Structures are given as C-alpha cells and as structure tokens.
Structure 1
Amino acid sequence: MLNPIVYAAPVFILMIGLEFAWGRWRGQTIYRAADTVSSLAAGITSQLIEVFSKTFTVGIYTLAWQQLALLPLRMDALWVWLLALLLYDLCYYWYHRLGHEVALLWAAHAVHHSSEEYNLSTALRQTGTGFLFSWIFYLPLAVLGVPPLVFGAVALIDLLYQFWVHTRLVGRLGWFDRVFVSPSNHRVHHGQNAYCLDRNYGGILILWDRLFGSFVEERADEPIVYGVLGQLRRWNPLSANLHVYAERWRDMRMTARWRDKLALWFRHPGWRPADLERLAPKPVPDLRQFHRYAPPLPAGLPVYGLVHLFIQLGLGVLFLALAPGLALSTALPLALGLAAGLVLLTQLLEDPQARRAGEMLRLIVSALACAWLLQAAPSAALQALWATGVAVFALSVPLLGVLLRRPLTAGAVQ
C-alpha cells in the first residue's frame, strides 16, 4: 500500500507556497528560509523513521485488537467510523496533554514546538521518537474493537486536519473556535507566554479542552512568542529530536537522589530537584528580551539551503513511494543516507564555515549517487531526472564556494 504522505506532500508544499504568497501580499513576513528548511527537514526525518517504526506500532495495535477486542465492530458501518474518529480524537487529546505534562513524553514532542515561527511548515515539524510511547494511548480503541484499517484511516484524518490550523493569517472564527480546534486556538498552544503554557491540546475538537479545563482563548492584547522555553538554537533535526533527552540525561547524572533521577523523567518538564537547581540553576526567560534564533549567514545561503531542501524532499517522497517494495537491507541504508544529508544541510545554516566540508561531502556523494542511478534507470524520463540531479549537485559545489566567500550578514534572509 502506497504511503498516503506521497500524495499529501505536494498538497502541503502548494499550501505552504500559497500561505507565503498571501503573507507577502498582506505585507507580513511569516516565513524565514532557514527555519522552513529546519521544519521540513524534521518532517522528512519523521517520515523516514516511520517507514520502520510503523511495523512496530501497527503490529502492537493489531495484536491487541485480535486478542482483546470486546465488540465485533464492522468496517462497513458508518457509525463505527464516526465513533472511531471521535474516540481517537479523545485519545489524542490525552496523549498530547501528557506529552506536555510528563517529561519523558515531552522529550519526544518538543521538536514540534521548537520553531520560533508559526506557519504551515511548522505543522510538518514532527517527532521522530513519538512512536516509542504513542501506541499506548490508542490501545483502548483496539480493546473496544475498532479494526486496524479504520484506526489507521481516522488517525490520518486527525493528523491531516491539524495541518491547516498552523497559520497566523486566519483570525478568530466565531462559533467554530468554540467547538473545533482552529488557528486561533492552536496559536495559543504553541506560545511561550505564561497564559499559553500547557493549554489547548485538542486535535480536531477543542471541546475536550473545555471539558477537561485546559482551554484558554487567544489574547488580542498580548502577542504570542512561539518556540520552547529556553531556545533550541539549532536548525538540524537530530538536535531538535534529541535535545530534551540529552538535557534530562545530564540532569539525571547531576542530581544525587535516585528518586529524583527517576522523577526527572516522569514529572512535569519544568520540575527540577532542589540540589540540581543549586548546581545548575535554569534562568526564567524574559520574553520581553526575546530574539529569534538567526545566526549570521552569507547572503544567499538560506535560499541555497531551501533549494536543496526541496531536492531532499523530492528524494524523500520517492523513497516513501518505493519503500514498501524494498528489502530492509536496502531501505535502511537509503533512509540513513537521506537523514544524514538533511543533518549536514541544516548544520550548514548553523555554522557555514565549520560545516563547509560536510556539505561538500553531501554534494559529491549525492552527485555520485545520481550518476549511479542514471546508469541503472529503466526509462528515458528517469535518465533525464538523474542526469539533472548530477548536474545540480555538481554545479552546487562551486556555487557553495562562492556563497561562503561572502561576508556574514546578521540581516540575511533566514
């Protein structure tokens, strides 16, 4: 079965392009090239990991359904689909809520909040490690008897719905805001402001937040500051996915009592034991002094990163389309190669001179890979595609050299 993301990816990119154009028409800058590269790189990485993790999560759900289902729910009954979607959204609410209230789960979810922008590309900044625990929250559906195919379909519907609410360009929507998750409701969820923290967790229905006391309305008189408390200050998806795990591991080693070492993973992410607070106090961010992460870059380099990110995106979508027919021994090295390419590209936008050699290596390896695929391509169209790839990667080597000789500019479009 072809991955639905193969079909959805072009729609996502089209919608991002339309939002960018709409923002420019309204005189608003809602995209920065480097941040968009970071968000899409995290999204591609998430999908690469899901190729392999889906066997684990779907397998557990199917096994639970086969062994524990209480009711023989039929796939051809519309009410089963509607009930499954409603219950999935309720399970998602609690998974999402605990993803903010339990440090171990926050470690997986934090990547989605790490962007300091709020636009449709932010919706694609998804976790690569969420599969480790997310399956637990959906087992009640398996026990109830929701068939795996129905479960997979409603999960996709819930996920796709959440894409459009990641925008600053849609204002308040009246009655819709009171029932459904909307851009206004979800902007609050992504804010660092005190009133925004740990609020508005719903996937499709905001009614869950109203029912369980986690709802708050967006305030017109207080601009929202997006991102995580304590800036990530990285573009690459590896850091975005692992930085909270690394921080917790460091804190666990520093604190003395074993009870506190365990509590660091299972209490609220903001909780710290007294001895750790003395040894390594964590300052409270002053949002009045907040400056978005924007390392100085040579003019043109962020656009270079964006162009190559879209090439990586195309390769990633191609991999997702081919993955069901690939042996693990082939799929795993390809996925690792694509992920490494994303890390190298995004690191270039963090520190161009230090990462220059890594980017040169990425370009050379990519050109050689395209040349090899050119020889093996079974059709004229694919031969033209891989020949274009050879040319693009080969010409990018001297172009990169030209760009990196330009002076660093703090005001470069990022």
Structure 2
Amino acid sequence: MITPERIMAWAIPGFFVLIGIELWVARWRGRDVYAINDAINSLSLGVVSQIVGVFTKLFTIGIYAWCAAHWALWNLPANSLWVWISGLLLYDLLYYWLHRWGHEVNVLWAAHVVHHQSERYNLSTALRQTGSGFLLGWVVYLPMALLGYPTDVFAVIAVIDLLYQFWVHTEVVDRLGWFDRVFCSPSNHRAHHAVNDRYLDRNYGGILILWDRLFGTFVEENDDDPPIYGTRSPLQSWNPLWANVEVYRAMLNDSWHARRWSDKLRVWVKRPGWRPADVAVRFPKTAFDITHAHYGPPMSFAWTIYCVVQFALLLMIGVHFLNAAPSMKLAHAALYAMYMVYSLLTLGFLMEGRRIGLWLELMRTVGTAVVVQLTGQWFAMAHLNPIACGSAVIAFGSSAIIVLCIARPPRWHTAQKPLQ
C-alpha cells in the first residue's frame, strides 16, 4: 500500500522544481514575488514542522488509530474506491471547519498563524507550516475514525489533501474560470491569505471551494483591491521559534493581566484580536497599518550567499534526520532535532543582523567540526568513513572561517530586539 512517507518522498523534489519554475516565470513577467530571507524563513518553518512531526506522529495518528479500533461503528474496507472518494470528501469538509475555527478561535489561530505570517505569497509560503498544530487539530478528524475509515486510508488522504494545497500558493497563475467556482485555486487562496477588509477570514476550503459557497464564507478576488499578505499583527522576525509561539505568548500575557477570571479564560476562545477591555487600556497595541513596509533587514551580498549555502546544507541534513530518526534512540533523535532547530534559529538571527547570531553561528560551526573530528560520528550513529568525516570537518571549519572573514561589527545590533 502507498504510504504517506513514500508520497512525501516523491513530492519533496517536486516542490523545489515547481518553486524554481515559479521564480523563472515571475522574473520573465517582471514580477517580484520572492525575497531570499522570507523564503528561507518559510522553508525553515516547514523543516521545524517536519521535525516536530517525527515526535508527534504517534500522538496524532495513534489517537486516531485507537479510536478507530475501539469506537468505530463500522469497519470500512481499505480496498474500496468509494471509501477513498467519500473519505477524501469528508476529510476536506472537516478540514474546512478546522481551518475556519483556526481563524475564529484564538488558541487555534495561535497554531495556524505561522502559515499566514509571510508578507510574500509564493510556493515557499505553502511549506510554511506550524509546529504546534498537533495539539488540538486531531480532534476535528475523529468523526472519520468513528465512521470506520481505516487509519492507513486516513493518513494517505490527509497527505493528498495537504499536497493539493501546495500549488495554490502562487501569484503567477491567474484566474481559471469555472475551476475557481468549484475548487480551491490560486485566485481563491490569494484572497484567503490577504489582510484587506474585503478578504479577511474567507475561503477556507482545502480542495473544494464549494464548502465556502455552501457556508457563506466565499469571496472572489477583486482586481480593484489586490490582496495584501501577512497578518494584522506582523511578525517582524526571521526567528522560527518566535514565529511558533508569538500568539501563545500574547494570549498568556493578556490572560495573566486580565482582572476578571472570565476574561482570563475568554482570551483563549474568543476571536483573534479580542482583548479584555482593562488589558487593552493598560497595554495598548499599535493599530494595524496595511501600508506598512515589508519586514526585511538589509543583508550584504556576502551574508546573503552565506545564508543560502548554509540553509541548503541544513536542508540536506534535515532530509538525513527525517530518514534516520525513526531508527535512532529517542535521546539521540532529540539531540539531533535540537541541533537542527538551533541551526535554523541561528540562521534567522544572522538574517536579522543580530550580533548574537554571529556568536551562535561560530559556536555551531566550530562545535560541529570539533565533535565530528574527535568522535568520527554524526549524532551517535555509525562511525563515518574518513572521507565523510573529513568533508564534514572541512565544511563546518571553513564556514567558521568565512563567518570571521565577512563579519562587519557595525552591521550587528548590540542588543536583542524585544520579542513583543
């Protein structure tokens, strides 16, 4: 049987091929749809999401499997075409409601917001995924378990529904006529990602846009009001950890400072942006300005090339982690995961021009070279052959030297920007 892992293994190379095609088409049309720092940040969040998924898969799929085994009203056959078709339709309907509630319930928005933080709209944005969606999202899909859809069927359908949504994250595909009226399309999803009043909180469908037409949440893209992307509380950071926790942090702050106990609880379940009246007075926030400039601290050409090369290296290491983690001891896999997250965090600081990023990167590159040289291993796995060991030492050692060569002290902020 086709597995989700095999589907993703086939799909990942296709993602980067399509991103390359989109970039070429955009430049041919004279469109500026990509920024290197934004694309790296989006892809970094996708990597973080996959890393988290390694440790939470048993939690999400495990709960579904247990419910299907103990509570299912029927046992539907996995080899039946109608089970697959009806399962995909039901999953897409449940996804619509999860997606909609993700925009209407603050604690669900805290997870989903990651996908909307980019102020660009391109195929890299599609890979910008949350690391905390596993906490509550699984609840919405339990009806499929109760109806008897096999766990393997559910897992594959979930990947199919997710993969479909990749291609709709682009500005280089125009309107598609009748297709836009039935399916989620680039035009429909551009409207969904927009912060304009006209488009806010609309077009939640994953594959079918018919759900939005049925439940009154559909809006058509309007050429007179082109979509502006991002969120109404701009992230203003390339830090992948902060991207995942910013709304949780804001909710905790508001809940802590609220005087009424009912408000402390309502913070979590009200619509995004709602704040207790007393908290809003004591801790006012700047009003949203839709004309604000895109976030993007300047980077020199040398630092840009360095960050691109290091991120490409981290992508290859990430693929190795995803393949190796299932067979590793939990402690070793966790250490490997922390190394990956640390590396992506450091890269984010470098792109923000923060002095701490310089020191963290030196610690990362020098530390990796030294550990590999002394142990001859890569995260307690089998000993590396001399060529692999030497290559790793040279790659990370030379990276440390390059950092020292291209660092320019005046470029680096001496203080951390408050994560507010």
TM-score (norm 2): 0.92
2:298 paired residue among 296, 299, 305: 296
1:31 paired residue among 9, 23, 34: 34
The aligned counterpart of 2:377 is 373
The aligned counterpart of 2:52 is 49
Deviations 1:284-310 (A, max 9, x none): 21213x100011333331232122111
Q: Is the 8 A contact 1:9 1:317 kept in 2?
A: no
The aligned counterpart of 1:179 is 182
Q: Which moved more, 1:399-408 or 1:216-225?
A: 399-408
Matches within 5 A, 1:236-247: 236-247=239-250
Amino acid at match of 2:240: P
The aligned counterpart of 1:328 is 330
Q: Is the 8 A contact 1:172 1:184 kept in 2?
A: yes
Amino acid at match of 1:66: A
2:341 paired residue among 339, 351, 357: 339
1:189 and 2:206 equivalent? no
Deviations 1:185-204 (A, max 9, x none): 11111111111211111110
The structural deviation recorded for 1:175 is 0.5
Q: Is the 8 A contact 2:122 2:169 kept in 1?
A: yes
Matches within 5 A, 1:64-103: 64-103=67-106
The aligned counterpart of 2:127 is 124
Q: Distance in 2 between matches of 1:186 and 1:7?
A: 24
1:164 paired residue among 154, 159, 167: 167
Q: Distance in 2 between matches of 1:19 and 1:179?
A: 24
1:40 and 2:43 equivalent? yes
The structural deviation recorded for 1:250 is 0.8
The aligned counterpart of 1:412 is none
Q: Distance in 2 between matches of 1:407 and 1:224?
A: 37
Q: Distance in 1 between matches of 2:188 and 2:381?
A: 50
Matches within 5 A, 1:225-236: 225-236=228-239
The aligned counterpart of 2:210 is 207
The structural deviation recorded for 1:149 is 0.3
Q: Distance in 2 between matches of 1:379 and 1:406?
A: 37
The structural deviation recorded for 1:379 is 8.2
1:222 and 2:228 equivalent? no
Matched residue SS, 1:373: coil
- With over 3 angstroms needed to count, the CA separation of the structure-2 counterparts of 1:376 and 1:224, relative to structure 1, is closer
The structural deviation recorded for 1:408 is 4.6
Q: Distance in 1 between matches of 2:230 and 2:279?
A: 24
Q: Distance in 2 between matches of 1:18 and 1:392?
A: 30
Matched residue SS, 2:355: coil
1:400 and 2:403 equivalent? yes
Q: Distance in 2 between matches of 1:52 and 1:376?
A: 19
Q: Distance in 1 between matches of 2:210 and 2:23?
A: 31
Q: Distance in 2 between matches of 1:367 and 1:405?
A: 24
Matched residue SS, 1:281: coil
Amino acid at match of 2:12: A
Q: Which moved more, 1:7-16 or 1:245-254?
A: 7-16
| Number of positions where the alignment pairs a residue of Structure 1 with one of Structure 2 | 406
Between the aligned residues of both structures, percent identity stands at: 47
Q: Which has the higher contact order (CA 8 A, sep 6+)?
A: 1
Matched residue SS, 1:349: helix
- With over 3 angstroms needed to count, the CA separation of the structure-2 counterparts of 1:253 and 1:311, relative to structure 1, is same
Amino acid at match of 2:377: L
Q: Is the 8 A contact 2:106 2:270 kept in 1?
A: yes
Matched residue SS, 2:314: helix
Deviations 1:26-80 (A, max 9, x none): 2222111111111111000000000010101111001110111112210111000
Q: Distance in 2 between matches of 1:7 and 1:180?
A: 24
Q: Distance in 1 between matches of 2:321 and 2:65?
A: 26
Q: Distance in 2 between matches of 1:59 and 1:2?
A: 15
Deviations 1:342-388 (A, max 9, x none): 111111111343321001111112323554338976787xx545543
Matched residue SS, 1:284: coil
Q: Which moved more, 1:209-218 or 1:27-36?
A: 27-36
TM-score (norm 1): 0.93
Q: Is the 8 A contact 1:33 1:303 kept in 2?
A: no
- With over 3 angstroms needed to count, the CA separation of the structure-2 counterparts of 1:308 and 1:108, relative to structure 1, is same
Q: Distance in 2 between matches of 1:174 and 1:191?
A: 21
Q: Distance in 1 between matches of 2:243 and 2:397?
A: 30
Q: Is the 8 A contact 2:43 2:127 kept in 1?
A: yes
Q: Is the 8 A contact 1:298 1:407 kept in 2?
A: no
Unmatched runs of 5 consecutive residues or more in structure 2: 413-420
Amino acid at match of 1:41: S
The aligned counterpart of 2:356 is 354
The structural deviation recorded for 1:280 is 1.7
1:104 and 2:110 equivalent? no
Amino acid at match of 1:308: Q
